Amino acid sequence: MIIVIQCADRVGLIAAIARLIAKKGYNITSMQEHVDNNENLFFMRLELDRTDGAPQLEDDLRQLLPEGALIKVNPVPEKKIVVLVTKEYHCLADILVRNYFKTLGATVQCVIGNHSTLQDICDRFDVPFHEVPAGTDKTFFEENLMAALAPYEFDYLVLAKFMRILSPAFVWRFPMRIINIHHSFLPAFAGANPYRQAHERGVKLIGATAHYVTDELDEGPIIAQQIIPASHTLSVQDMVKAGKEMETAVLAKALKLVFDDRVFVYRNKTVVLE
């Protein structure tokens, strides 16, 4: 059983939680916690040796913890996702392989692309693909996108190089449920063409960032990041090539963290209990 807790901090919380769990006859096999002293917030992730009695344990914890505590007891172990793409295949291919071999921690319900370029690879993995052309009218595009999503139940939308800016109205439908991979070490080089921006600036490091999508472009809470060296000898194309491998790795790591219920969001920041 997995338990995740986010609440106001107070003295003795860890001891009180541990006593309750022991009293109920569970053994704690893993415990991670963090306190943000500035915000007086407490975060905890627990793994227990059994899964029975989850509803009662959640009720008991709610009585024990400060008012307004966010508690999940035994969240769904395998999430469901929909992947949004354009033409770049590297992140999608990694997701489809992991999905096929059941190492993703989620199941891909479908892939939606604004071009048909990646339909073939989806067909090869027997994953439904829907084309929703972007066009020039964003409202019309997002209405069609919602229509394509309607038949599916999912926990998260994954933007695997989707390369489209979604409107605030669309994002608000899925608060902290849209995950994007951005090809820069945010907050540096937000927006379009970050590798070209990095090359023109002459930076010595380039990076990739996986983050939740909010209505502020590339400003959502960061889940995972990675950087690699970039010398003056690299062209923009060299940076793009190196960056694709990094983007794939960072997105894979971020998805695993989210699917394992290790990411807490607050104040446009995250606590990640790895």
Residues 178-209 pLDDT 10s = 999 987 766 666 666 776 777 777 776 778 89
143 and 258 share one domain: yes
**How far is 236 from 110, CA to CA, in rounded Å?**
33
pLDDT for the residue numbered 195: 65
Residue 259 clears pLDDT 90, i.e. is over it: yes
pLDDT for the residue numbered 188: 63
Q: What is the extent of the structural domain holding 61?
A: 2-73
39 and 116 share one domain: no
Q: What is the mean pLDDT of residues 57-81?
A: 94
pLDDT for the residue numbered 112: 98
Q: What CATH number has the domain bearing residue 175?
A: 3.40.50.170
Cβ atoms 238, 206 nearer than 8 A: no
pLDDT tens track for 31-43 = 999 999 999 999 9
Peptide bond into 55 cis (omega under 30): no
Q: Name the pTM for this structure.
A: 0.91
159 and 218 share one domain: yes
62 and 190 share one domain: no
40 and 114 share one domain: no
Instruction: Supply 110's token pair.
Output: 């479908």
Instruction: Supply 238's token pair.
Output: 């060299």
Specify the number of domains making up the chain: 2
Residue 149 clears pLDDT 70, i.e. is over it: yes
pLDDT for the residue numbered 135: 81
Percent of the chain residues past pLDDT 90, beyond the cut: 76
Catalytic site includes residue 218:
yes
pLDDT for the residue numbered 239: 73
Of 137, 218, 260, 261, the active-site residue reads 218
122 and 218 share one domain: yes
